[in-house]
Amino acid sequence: MKSGCRAEESRLQTAERLVKFLALVTVVSWRIFFLTMSARVEPDGPPNTVLTAAEINALDRIDATRPKPRLRRRTLADYLLQIAMLGGYLARSRDPPPGNMVVWRGLIRLHDIAVGISIGSKRRCG
């Protein structure tokens, strides 16, 4: 919440605005933490327990474009690893598990990709 959402840098003038901002940031921070910890506690769990269908679809489409697919087992841990790699995680053999910051950056990038896929999939004439 502090680093990723930059809550300390907000320049809101009233207490009411600050409370609304902190409520939003709290929900976002909780989701990132929940995703990270869920993958650590239940790595073989289904990804749809914490990811939306659009996020899973976007990750599947990203993986389909690779010459050597990385999503083999389709577990929560595999999807979290792909999100972390979008955020800059290198996934070397001796690296610790991805943390909240790389998951945060990866989710931002994944959201942008999912929006692009959504826009590109709409067929318009004229």
- Per-10-residue mean pLDDT of the chain, 126 residues long, equals 64 81 88 94 95 95 90 92 96 93 95 91 66
- For residue 1, give every residue at least 6 positions away whose Cβ sits within 8 Å of its Cβ, in sequence order, or none: 7, 25, 26, 28, 29
Chain centroid, CA 43 distance in Å: 16
- CATH level 3 topology of 7-121: Transferase Inhibitor Protein From Tn5; Chain A, domain2 (1.10.740)
Question: In the prediction, which pLDDT does 19 show?
Answer: 86
Question: In the prediction, which pLDDT does 124 show?
Answer: 66
The whole-angstrom separation of Cα 126 and Cα 124 is 7
Question: In the prediction, which pLDDT does 73 show?
Answer: 87
Question: In the prediction, which pLDDT does 105 show?
Answer: 94
> Domain spans of the chain?
7-121
State pTM to two decimals: 0.84
Question: In the prediction, which pLDDT does 123 show?
Answer: 67
Helices marked H in the chain? 15-41, 53-64, 76-86, 100-121
DSSP letters spanning 63-96? HHTSSS-S-SS--HHHHHHHHHHHTT----TTPP
The whole-angstrom separation of Cα 37 and Cα 85 is 17
Question: In the prediction, which pLDDT does 25 show?
Answer: 86
Q: Which of 91, 40, 82 is nearest to 62 (CA)?
A: 82
Q: Are 4 and 29 in contact (CB under 8 A)?
A: yes
